């Protein structure tokens, strides 16, 4: 039969329990900080422009020629259209 003195938990247990809680809290803080930094808006293009806007800027600044811009633009549009067609074909009717 256990007496009250025998059933009291060792003080080391409380230390390790507190340490575990601190580690869990620190891990949660790190995870939330990483999620916030990964999913926040990038400041690369603050106006929300996409690839075509970036290509147009390159054309305007002379980094690419008008012909290169038009060829790349056409390729992007064709690939996007093909992807949309493929997605529409895969959807069950």
pLDDT in tens, 40-67: 755 554 444 588 889 999 999 999 999 9
- CA angle, 39 then 41 then 80, to 5°: 90
Name the percent of the chain lying above pLDDT 70. 78
At residue 40, the pLDDT reads 77
Q: How far apart are CA 20 and CA 14, in angstroms?
A: 10
pLDDT of 68 higher than 60: yes
pLDDT of 5 higher than 80: no
Q: Say how many CA atoms lie within 13 Å of 41 toward its Cβ.
A: 6
Q: What is the rounded average pLDDT of the residues 6-23?
A: 86
pLDDT of 27 higher than 80: yes
- Label residue 73 exposed, middle or buried (CB < 10 Å: 0-12, 13-18, 19+): middle
Lowest mean pLDDT among 20-24, 32-36, 41-45, 77-81: 41-45
Q: How far apart are CA 64 and CA 52, in angstroms?
A: 13
Domain ranges of the chain: 9-42, 49-93
């Amino acid at each position: 039969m256990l007496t009250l003195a025998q059933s009291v938990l060792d003080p080391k247990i409380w230390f390790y329990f507190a340490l575990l809680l601190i580690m869990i809290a620190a891990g949660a803080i790190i995870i939330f900080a990483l999620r916030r930094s990964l999913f926040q808006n990038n400041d690369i293009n603050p106006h929300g422009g996409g690839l075509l806007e970036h290509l147009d800027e390159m054309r305007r600044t002379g980094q690419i020629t008008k012909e290169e811009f038009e060829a790349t633009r056409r390729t992007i549009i064709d690939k996007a259209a093909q992807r949309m067609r493929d997605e529409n074909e895969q959807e069950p009717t």
